[in-house]
Chain A
Amino acid sequence: MTSLPVHHRPLEDARPTVLIVDDSIDVHRLLKVRLKNEDLDFLSAHTGQEGLALALCRTPSLMILDLDMPGMDGLAVLRKMKEHPDTQHTPVIVLSGQHSPRDKVAAFELGAVDYVTKPFELTELRVRIRSALKMQQLISMLAQRAQIDGLTGLWNRAFFDRRWTEEHARLTRHGHPLTLAIMDLDHFKIVNDTYGHPAGDAVLQAIGKILQRASRQSDLACRYGGEEFVLLMPDTTAADAVVVGERIRNAVASSVWPQHPDLRITISIGVAGCSGAAPLSAEQWIEAADRNLYAAKRAGRNHLVCTDLSVQPPRLVKAAG
């Protein structure tokens, strides 16, 4: 659907990986020596086929691609990359011994971001690589910012909506388990009214951190709106999700608030999970989790209510305690 890299943690920093595709061993050697102080990781491919395969499985930050290779040439590699969603937006600097304007035009039309003619000055290539990586970093930062909640740093509602649809479709296709938790802070309005909105914001930020810490690498924690959060747990059964949810519920309840020592914050959680084919539509599934959230509220708040949609009923209720 989209080809932008999906990180489970927003704004993750990683060392950029540069994939060098050139049939000349010299280019690999020279580039690696000349770029060794650039804080980059390198991947090497000596044929077009090998380069394409590596681009697809390792999704590098940048590709340096020779056009003149025997067999699958650079333009063919570019064409294939353009067709695949995972590599469509990978920036490519094209190297070529040919000076033909037609090749340049073709390369740019196929998505190359820069074109360097051989024999190239390595110092020049070095700054071109820096500039291409910087641009790529800004683009992916912008793309991520549009999906991040400004206050908590969690994924935002728009991101959740898209990923939920994708995960639901994936479950329908492959039948992996999938669980969704919807959470709502208890009596949050009183916090804002009593301590003021800055204090309320500080609580929301702290809850964001608790969600990040208490969830697992593969979970997606999102701010759903106001004081409502969702945790999307791919490959997780309802029973396993209860463990994660309880960890969150307990972490929130036992938090101390140094600025306001008498403040107590609790959270109610509704969970709906499934470990086979999806029995409900994506929307109905959210409604099922939402119903459990309200059941948790009715049960006295600071509760977790879970439904395993694959065996429903019974409904599992975890009480505060």
Chain B
Amino acid sequence: MPDSTSSGVRLRSRFADDPEMSDLVRLFISELPARINTLTHAMHEQQLEAMQRMAHQLRGASTGYGFPSIGAAAAKVEDILHATGSSQGENLEQLTSSVHELVELCRLASKG
């Protein structure tokens, strides 16, 4: 289910108005750029294990912060990495595009 308020211009947490959660959501958003940097850096360095770690964490946590679509995109990245193992380059294109999708969603969330 999409959690963007409009046509993907920005991404808003489901819990943005939950008083219990709003501080935590803001903290998560503020940390997203650093996480994305780590992920893309790992991709450029071809550190697949580090990528998988980061995708795994985003997958587990994003729904909790009210961003299920980020969680789903991270799951896709993790699943591709999982299937690829540590060797093949044939999924590289698929991986790149799924990482790109994830990065884009995080960027939209950061704007929210």
Question: Which residue numbers of A lie inside 8 Å of B, CB to CB?
Answer: 24, 26-27, 29-30, 33-34, 36, 68, 70, 97, 118-122
Contacts and interface: CB of A to CB of B under 8 A. Distances in A.
Interface in B48-82: 53, 56-57, 59-65, 68, 71
A30 B20 contact: no
Q: Is the interface of B mostly helix, strand, loop or mixed?
A: helix
B92 interface: no
B61 A34 contact: no
A34 B20 contact: yes
A70 B60 CA distance: 15
A29 B60 CA distance: 13
Given A26-B57, A68-B56, A97-B56, A119 B20 contact: no
Q: Is the interface of A mostly helix, strand, loop or mixed?
A: loop
Among A34, A68, A118, which residue has the most Cβ atoms of chain B within 10 A?
A118
B59 A26 contact: no
- The 3 A-B pairs with the shortest beta carbon distances in the complex, nearest first, are A26-B61, A119-B63, A30-B64
Interface of B: 20-21, 24, 27-28, 53, 56-57, 59-65, 68, 71
A97 B24 contact: no
Contact of A30 (B24, B53, B56): B24
Nearest to B72: A119
Contact of A29 (B24, B56, B59): B24
A95 B8 CA distance: 32
Contacts of A119: 59-64, 68, 71
27 contacts: A24-B57, A24-B60, A26-B28, A26-B60, A26-B64, A26-B65, A27-B60, A27-B64, A29-B24, A30-B24, A30-B61, A30-B64, A30-B65, A33-B21, A34-B20, A36-B20, A68-B56, A97-B56, A97-B59, A97-B60, A118-B59, A119-B60, A119-B61, A119-B63, A119-B71, A120-B63, A121-B63
Among B56, B60, B68, which residue has the most Cβ atoms of chain A within 10 A?
B60
B60 A33 contact: no
A48 B28 CA distance: 24
Among A26, A27, A33, A70, which residue has the most Cβ atoms of chain B within 10 A?
A26
Contacts of B27: 29
B60 A122 contact: no
Contacts of B56: 68, 97
Contacts of A34: 20
B59 A122 contact: no
Given A24-B60, A33-B20, A118-B59, 11 more contacts: A26-B57, A26-B60, A26-B61, A26-B64, A33-B21, A34-B20, A68-B56, A97-B59, A119-B63, A119-B64, A119-B71
A5 to B, nearest CB: 32
A122 B56 CA distance: 18
